[in-house]
Amino acid sequence: MIRPVRVLELRSVLGTGGGPEKTILEGARQTRTDRAAVTVCYLRDARDGVFRIGDRATGLGIDYVELIERHSFDWRIWPALRQLVRDRGIEVVHAHEHKTDLLAWLLARRAGIVPLSTAHGWTGHSRRERLLYYPADKRVLRRYPLVLAVSTEVRDDLARHGVPPDRIRVLLNGVDHLVFRREPDREAAARERFGLVPGDLAIGAIGRLEPQKRFDLLIQAVAAVRDRAPGLQLLIAGEGSARPLLEAEIRRCGAGSWCTLTGQLEDVRDLHHALDLFVQSSVYEGTPNVVLEAMAMTTPVLATRAGGTAELVREEVDGLLIPPGDADALTGALRRAIADPEGCRRRAASARRRVETDLSFERRVRTLEDIYAELVRRRIR
C-alpha cells in the first residue's frame, strides 16, 4: 500500500459502554498512521445523559465523530453517515454490533465501502434482542466478506447461523501491558481509598452490573467463605441495570459491612492496586478485557470458562478456572485461592508474561492493520 487505508470504526452504545469501547478507542490511538487512517464514529442517543465516550476519545487525541439520534431508529443519521464516509474517503467500515452491522452493510451497497464486523457476542437479555435483533444480525453477517470473532465460541456461533467458516477469523482481545502494570508504591494509597485496613483481604470484580455477570453469585460465595476468613472485603466496580438487585442481595446476605458497589471507575488500575484477588463470575462473555487487565496488573485471577476466557487464562498456569454458574465451584475455588497465596502469586506472574507476549495489544493492532490492507487489496482486484 502506498497510502494508509481509510477506516471508519462505527459503534452504537448506551451509557458508559464496556470492553469494546476500550478496544476501539485504544486501537485507534495505537494504529500506525502510515498503515491506516482511523476515524471513530459513535451513534449517540440524544436522551442518553450518561454517555461519556467522547470525553475519553478526546483525551486519547483520536479522530472522533458523534452522530446524534433522537431515538434508536432515527434514520436521519443515514445522510449524515454517508456524508461522513464521503468526506473522509472511507474505504473500510468496521462495525461492532447489530445496529452498525446493518448500517455498514447498507453503506457497502450504496457507497462501495468494504464492510468488516467484529462480533463481540450477543449478551442482551430483552426479548426483542434475543428474538429479533440478534438473529437478524447473524443473517446480515452472512453477507460480509469477513467477520472477526473475539473467541472460538463466538466463531462457532456464527458458523452455526450460516456465516461461511472461511469468512470468520478469531481475533482475541489484547491489553497494553505498558499501561496496565502494577506499581507497588501505589498500593497503600489505593487500599486506603477503598476503605481497606491492615489484615483485610480484598476480592474485586469489574464489569457492567448486568445479569450475565452473576455478581449475585459472587456475593453469595464470599458470604460462604467469610467464616474462615473474616477479613474478606468484596469490591464490585461498574454500573448497570442490576444494581437494585445486587443491593437487595447485599442486604439479604448481611453483606453491608464487607461488600461495596464502587460505581463506575475512571481508572480500574486504582482498584487493582488495592486487590488481592480478581474474580470474573460471568455466565456469558466474549473475550473479557477485565480479565486481561487483571492479568497485566498481576492480580491473581479466578474466572469462569465463559466465552473466550479459557483462551486467555491457561488453567492452573495463569489462573483458576471454574464452570459458569456453578455456585459450589466458585465457593471452593475462593477457599483454595485464599488458602494458597503463593500459588496465586505464581499464576499471576505467569499471566503477566502471557500478556507481554501472546496477548499484547500491539500484536492485535498490527494484525488488524494487516486485515484492513487485505480487504482493500481484495476490492481492488
Taking the C-alpha atoms of residue 59 and residue 222, their distance in angstroms, rounded to an integer, is 37
Q: Domains in the chain, start-ordered, CATH in brackets? A: 5-174+360-380 (3.40.50.2000), 184-356 (3.40.50.2000)
Q: Which helix (H) or strand (E) holds 11?
A: strand 5-12
Strand partners, 69: 45
What are the angstrom distances between the C-alpha of 30 and each of 340, 360, 363?
Answer: 38, 12, 11
Q: Which residues contact 166 (CB under 8 A, 6 or more apart)?
A: none
Which amino acid belongs to residue 376? V
Structure confidence by residue, pLDDT tens digits, 269-287: 999 999 999 999 999 988 8
Which residue from 144, 173, 141, 145 is spatially nearest to 160, judged by alpha carbons?
141
| Distance separating alpha carbons of residues 27 and 366, to the nearest angstrom | 10
Per-residue pLDDT of the chain (381 residues; tens, 9 = 90+): 578 999 999 999 988 778 899 899 999 999 999 999 999 999 999 998 888 899 999 999 999 999 999 988 899 999 999 999 999 999 999 999 999 999 999 999 999 999 999 999 887 767 888 888 899 999 999 999 999 999 999 999 999 999 999 999 999 999 999 999 999 999 999 999 999 999 999 999 999 999 999 999 999 999 999 988 999 999 999 999 999 999 999 999 999 999 999 999 989 999 999 999 999 999 998 889 999 999 999 999 999 999 899 999 999 999 999 999 999 999 999 999 999 999 999 999 999 999 999 999 999 999 999 999 999 998 865
User: What is residue 89's predicted lDDT score, i.e. its pLDDT?
Assistant: 97
Could you tell me which residues are beta bridge partners of residue 204?
235, 278
Tell me what pLDDT residue 381 has: 59
DSSP 8-state secondary structure symbol assigned to residue 113: P
Q: How far is Cα 210 from Cα 119, in angstroms, rounded to an integer?
A: 19
Taking the model in full, what pTM does it have? 0.87
180: three-class secondary structure by DSSP: coil
